[in-house]
Amino acid sequence: MQAQCLCGSVKVTAKAQHQVSVCHCGICRRWGGGPLFAVHCGHDVQFEGREFVTDYSSSEWANRGFCRRCGTHLYYYLLDANEYILPAGLFQDEPGLALTEQIFIDQKPAFYNFREQTENLTEAEVFAKYAPS
């Protein structure tokens, strides 16, 4: 899958699942003004224009990356898992993306809902399922 930031300074190539998950946690909502629509890409992600990428350590377990020229959100990177999670909106021309999961569902504000039937995980369920052991 191919993607790029708004200004084109950073280009991304990733082998990604076509499953989209939504994160409703407060950090993701603060970061992007709404939930993060995410595509899990594992560690097989290449960045062209890496010199334009800035990392922000948003927690003890993850960094968030963005283009320092235009501010486009590029990734959420899980440190221990060496896994990139990219915003689904980066892949605007990619057919076949499907919303399959919502995480931190217990933190979702009441002012929006999605009609798709998905797996819904609370904060506790997310950490039980994905936290490194």
**pLDDT (tens digit per residue) in 65-113:** 999 999 999 999 999 999 999 999 999 878 889 999 999 999 999 999 9
* Residue type at 74 in one-letter notation: L
Residue 47 has what pLDDT? 97
Q: Which residues pair with 104 in a beta bridge?
A: none
Residue 23's domain is classified under what CATH number? Answer: 2.170.150.70
Is residue 128 assigned to a domain?
no
Edge to edge, the sheet with strand 98-103 lists 53-57, 62-67, 73-78, 83-87, 36-42, 19-23, 98-103, 119-121
Measured CA to CA in angstroms, residue 67 lies from 50, 90, 95, 108, 114 at distances of: 9, 12, 25, 27, 29
48: tokens are 């062209």
Average pLDDT score, the chain: 93
- How many domains does the chain fold into? 1
Please state the rounded mean pLDDT for residues 22-32.
94
Q: For residue 130, is pLDDT > 90?
A: no
Is residue 8 assigned to a domain?
no
Is residue 74 assigned to a domain?
yes
Is residue 107 assigned to a domain?
yes
Is residue 102 assigned to a domain?
yes
* Residue type at 133 in one-letter notation: S
Is residue 3 assigned to a domain?
no
Is residue 132 assigned to a domain?
no
Q: For residue 31, is pLDDT > 80?
A: yes
Please state the rounded mean pLDDT for residues 125-133.
80
The model carries a pTM of 0.88
Is residue 72 assigned to a domain?
yes
Structural domain span for residue 41: 14-122
Please state the rounded mean pLDDT for residues 106-128.
93
**For residue 50, what pLDDT band results from cuts at 50, 70 and 90?**
very high
Measured CA to CA in angstroms, residue 69 lies from 51, 73, 121 at distances of: 10, 11, 35
